[in-house]
């Protein structure tokens, strides 16, 4: 029950109550009487005035009924808030998602089972709906978001929002043509914008785009494949600060392009703590010169990720101050996951190092090749496979991004709930 429905219910019931009262009183006025003398007319007028006063009084429902109706409506609103759902979502028409394996389970990656190289066929529990942008879309009460390659080009599907994200997509040009880059996804966005303009007209399309939201989640696979994997000798050509600077500049450039295309509400996420992922811990497990922190994570890798996250956040703060009416929110998923790893028992987790779906040491020597490899209780694991968190972790991150609880300040300068209502 949303607020509009609740108010309509009150109005309808009060109107019905009033009509009933008025109808009963009105019956007494329909009797035809013979013509009266002047004194009788005067008495009749006085009686009629008294009757009208009673009618007005009777159309006001008892205080108990009003209180009851208000309690019903308030309970409906409280239940919505408790479930993390927004009663007002008219400020956001659609959600468009761009990103890597943090937003796509492989459904939007052509020939993914044949072309993947991280040895994990299922980078999530098999359903995109357990990923962060889908959980946020549900809280916004938006329709189901289709993968770009699953939509048929109908205006109805385009207006529901689309997921352009692709597993293992990178900001920089990928080392293989079988993987997508950020620029390729951006081109797809502009194809959709052109279709919206053709179908809706320029003015209506501009209004729709301004009322929509973009979700950006990149750079994780750039570090996994290009930097830490040292593909194309990236580590030989750049130090960690230079590499972060290149990625951040590209991300900010894309945000500006989206802003110029009339998008105003943009969510941009940082990178999760790669130094704590099962694959990273396994690869660096026997290295004698690697510093581990007290949580079993590879400190050097997490420091590199933090360097990127801090730089991206600082640039977004500057961008918000420069672009008129832009609302760009940075969501620090690193902070949220590190809080879980530090105090797992507080959030219902038992396993912070091993992957739920995988084989070998830490479940990271071989990735998730089938659902049958998965553990029995994924909700007690932090990591699903080599580099991706479980749905239970994503659920906590979505709650925190939405309302600031349980991880306060994960998204700033405002929460996603505040973003859609501004």
Q: What is the structure's pLDDT at 39?
A: 59
**Residue 237 — pLDDT band, cuts 50, 70, 90?**
confident
Of 70, 77, 26, whose CA–CA distance to 52 is shortest? 26
CATH class of 94-276+302-348+390-420: alpha beta
Q: For residue 330, give the 3-state DSSP assignment.
A: strand
* pLDDT one-digit tens code per residue, 220-229: 999 998 777 7
Q: Which residue has the higher pLDDT, 221 or 117?
A: 221
* pLDDT one-digit tens code per residue, 389-403: 999 999 999 999 999
Q: What is the structure's pLDDT at 31?
A: 42
> What is the average pLDDT across 71-89?
44
Residues 6+ apart with CB under 8 A from 251: 171, 182, 216, 218, 219, 268, 312, 315
* pLDDT one-digit tens code per residue, 146-165: 999 888 889 999 998 999 99
User: Hey, what are 69's tokens?
Assistant: 């109706």
Q: What is the structure's pLDDT at 213?
A: 97
Cα gap 191→212, rounded to integer Å: 16
Which residues, in sequence order, are bridge partners of residue 46?
none
Match 């194809």 to its residue by tokens: 191
> What is the average pLDDT across 129-138?
94
Q: What is the structure's pLDDT at 63?
A: 52
Share of the chain above pLDDT 90, in %: 58
180 and 61 in contact (C-beta within 8 Å)?
no
Q: What is the structure's pLDDT at 113?
A: 45
Of 193, 161, 177, whose CA–CA distance to 110 is shortest? 177
Match 């009618």 to its residue by tokens: 55
Domain boundaries, the chain: 94-276+302-348+390-420
Helices (H), 109-237: 112-115, 132-139, 155-158, 182-200, 202-210, 220-221, 234-237
Match 């580099």 to its residue by tokens: 387
pLDDT higher than 50, residue 85? no
* pLDDT one-digit tens code per residue, 15-56: 444 444 444 434 333 444 455 566 555 655 565 555 445 443
Q: What is the structure's pLDDT at 7?
A: 43
Q: What is the structure's pLDDT at 40?
A: 57
How many Cβ atoms are within 10 Å of 256's Cβ, its own excluded? 14
142 and 94 in contact (C-beta within 8 Å)?
yes
- Please tell me the least confidently modeled range out of 205-209, 238-242, 278-282, 288-292: 288-292
Which residues, in sequence order, are bridge partners of residue 268?
216, 330
User: Hey, what are 339's tokens?
Assistant: 């809080």
pTM for the full predicted model: 0.78
**Residue 128 — pLDDT band, cuts 50, 70, 90?**
confident
Cα gap 208→200, rounded to integer Å: 9
Cα gap 208→196, rounded to integer Å: 9
How many Cβ atoms are within 10 Å of 85's Cβ, its own excluded? 16
| CA-to-CA dists, residue 113 to 102, 117, 118, 168, 387, angstroms | 17, 9, 11, 12, 17
Does residue 325 come out as left (phi exceeding 0), alpha (psi in the -120 to 50 range) or beta? left
């Amino acid at each position: 029950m949303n607020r509009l429905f609740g108010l309509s219910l009150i109005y309808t019931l009060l109107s019905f109550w009033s009509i009933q009262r008025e109808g009963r009183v009105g019956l007494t006025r329909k009797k035809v009487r013979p013509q009266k003398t002047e004194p009788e007319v005067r008495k009749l007028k006085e009686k009629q005035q008294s009757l009208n006063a009673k009618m007005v009084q009777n159309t006001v429902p008892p205080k108990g009924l009003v209180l009851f109706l208000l309690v019903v409506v308030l309970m409906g609103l409280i239940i919505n808030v408790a479930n993390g759902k927004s009663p007002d979502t008219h400020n956001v028409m659609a959600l468009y998602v761009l990103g890597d394996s943090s937003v796509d389970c492989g459904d939007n990656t052509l020939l993914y089972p044949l072309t993947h190289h991280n040895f994990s066929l299922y980078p999530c529990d098999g359903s995109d709906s357990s990923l962060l942008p889908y959980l946020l879309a549900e809280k916004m009460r938006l329709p189901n978001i289709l993968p770009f390659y699953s939509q048929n080009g109908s205006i109805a599907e385009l207006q529901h929002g689309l997921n352009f994200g692709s597993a293992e997509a990178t900001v920089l040009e990928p080392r293989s043509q079988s993987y997508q880059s950020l620029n390729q996804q951006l081109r797809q966005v502009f194809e959709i914008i052109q279709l919206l303009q053709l179908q809706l007209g320029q003015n209506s399309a501009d209004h729709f785009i301004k009322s929509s939201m973009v979700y950006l989640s990149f750079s994780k696979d750039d570090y996994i494949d290009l930097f830490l994997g040292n593909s194309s000798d990236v580590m030989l050509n750049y130090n960690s600060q230079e590499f972060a600077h290149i990625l951040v500049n590209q991300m900010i450039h894309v945000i500006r392009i989206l802003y110029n295309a009339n998008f105003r509400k943009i969510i941009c996420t940082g990178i999760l703590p790669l130094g704590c992922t099962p694959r990273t811990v396994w690869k660096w497990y026997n290295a004698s010169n690697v510093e581990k922190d007290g949580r079993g994570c590879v400190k050097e890798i997490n420091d590199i990720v933090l360097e990127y996250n801090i730089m991206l956040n600082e640039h977004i703060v500057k961008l918000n101050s420069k672009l008129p009416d832009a609302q760009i929110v940075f969501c620090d998923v690193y902070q949220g996951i590190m809080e879980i790893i530090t105090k797992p028992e507080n959030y219902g987790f038992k396993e912070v190092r091993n992957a739920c779906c995988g084989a070998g040491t830490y479940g990271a020597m071989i990735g998730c090749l089938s659902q049958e490899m998965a553990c029995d209780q994924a909700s007690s694991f932090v990591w699903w496979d080599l580099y991706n968190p479980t749905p239970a972790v994503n659920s906590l991150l979505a709650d925190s991004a939405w309302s600031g609880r349980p991880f306060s300040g994960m998204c700033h300068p405002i929460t996603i709930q505040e973003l859609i209502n501004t």
